[in-house]
Amino acid sequence: MAESINDVKHRIASTRNTRQITTAMQMVSTAKLNRIQKHTSNYEEYVSRVKAVVMHLAQSHLLDNIDSSSNAGAKKSGKTAYLVITSDRGMVGSYNSNVIRETNNFIEAHTPNPDDYMILAVGGNGADFYKNRDVNVAYEYRGVSDIPTFAEVQEIVKTANTMFEDGVFDKLYVCYTHFVNRISSTFRAEKMLPMDSEAFEEDSSKDVKAQEISAEYEIEPDESAVLKVVLPQYAQSLVFGAILDAKTAEHSSSSTAMQSASDNASDLISRLELQYNRARQAAITTEITEIVGGQEALKH
């Protein structure tokens, strides 16, 4: 019985240590979430402005010319690339498994033949998942900051653009987790390349501000100069916004997971303490019974 009590005591101590760790991790994740939400809210205004200009160009059919000129003579691989954003670490609840599952469903619906697509992985979990299943991972980027910077995204966008221009793939979708609130997130798959009228028309159906824009305005100095500036900014803002959004969802999922782990540890400690008290009472009762029994034996 003494060994059993000691075992329970060790389990209680171990679980308390675990709870201390998960509570600390939950506090860290919450702090990161609060910090990144400030960056995200400020950045959303910039993205909406850039998107409004691009939607305006799309509605004015100014992208048609650049579509035809950029596609003229370009190589056609017939392949689609999926830029999948996951985390580099674990202990983030179902964050990684959800985005990978939804991405796989999206791929199955659009390019079921494995030879017709490739993965551009941002985050170690996604890269490892697809590489372990012999999926073509054409590019991977690990080590995205907890609060991502715009400079980090430039390398990713530059690589994607170069691969697209070299004919490695014909289409690129950005697949990530969109942060809704602290208890809810949703999957998104947005077309990034080519930046054609079709893609922007899909976005315009979701964007109220874009729908309210008039399609008549004057351009200075000319259409080509505006497009050369705006479209790269749009591509960068789309990827940066997706990474910011995904990181926000990651921190939220981590905070929720660690809170759940702490709560489970507290429940286990309560059960173990009850078990310990019962075992201790049983041990004391046994000792008293043995003492009384010994005294009775001495009387005889």
Q: Which residues of 154-169 are buried (b: 16+ CB within 10 A; e: fewer)?
A: eebbeebbebbeeebb
- Cα-Cα-Cα-Cα torsion 123, 126, 130, 131, nearest 10 degrees, comes to 40
Question: Is 16 domain-assigned?
Answer: no
Query: DSSP for 37-68?
Result: HHHHHHHHHHHHHHHHHHHHHHHTTTHHHHHH
Residue 1 has pLDDT above 60, yes or no: no
Average pLDDT over residues 155-180: 91
Q: Across residues 254-278, what is the average pLDDT?
A: 90
> Residue 63 domain-assigned?
yes
Per-residue confidence at 297, pLDDT binned at 50, 70, 90?
Answer: low
Question: Does residue 298 belong to any structural domain of this protein?
Answer: no
Residue 282, domain member (yes or no): no
- The confidence score (pLDDT) of residue 89 equals 87
Coil, helix or strand at residue 118: strand
Cα torsion 279, 285, 290, 293 to 10°: value is -150
Provide the residue range defining the domain that includes 73: 24-257
Residue 18 lies in a domain: no
Q: How many domains would you assign to the chain?
A: 1
Beta strands in 53-170 (DSSP E): 80-85, 117-122, 137-141
Asked whether residue 60 is assigned to any structural domain, the reply reads yes
Per-residue pLDDT of 207-263, as tens digits, reads 444 444 444 556 666 666 666 677 777 778 888 888 999 999 999 999 999 999 999
User: 290 in a domain, yes or no?
Assistant: no
Reading phi first (left if > 0) and then psi (alpha if -120 to 50, else beta), residue 117 is in beta
Report the distance separating Cα 85 and Cα 195, nearest Å. Answer: 20
pLDDT given at position 258: 92
Model confidence over 5-17: pLDDT tens digits?
888 889 899 999 9
CATH classification of the domain holding 153: 3.40.1380.10
Q: Average per-residue pLDDT in the chain? A: 82
Q: Write out pLDDT tens, residues 116-140.
A: 999 999 999 999 999 999 999 999 9
The verdict on residue 278 lying in a domain is no
**pLDDT higher for 291 or 268?**
268
On whether the CB atoms of residues 149 and 111 are closer than 8 A, the answer is: no
pLDDT at 197 (0 to 100):
59
Residue 65 and residue 44: Cα distance in Å, rounded?
29
Query: What are 42-93's pLDDT values in tens digits?
Result: 777 777 777 777 777 666 656 555 554 455 455 677 899 999 999 998 888 8
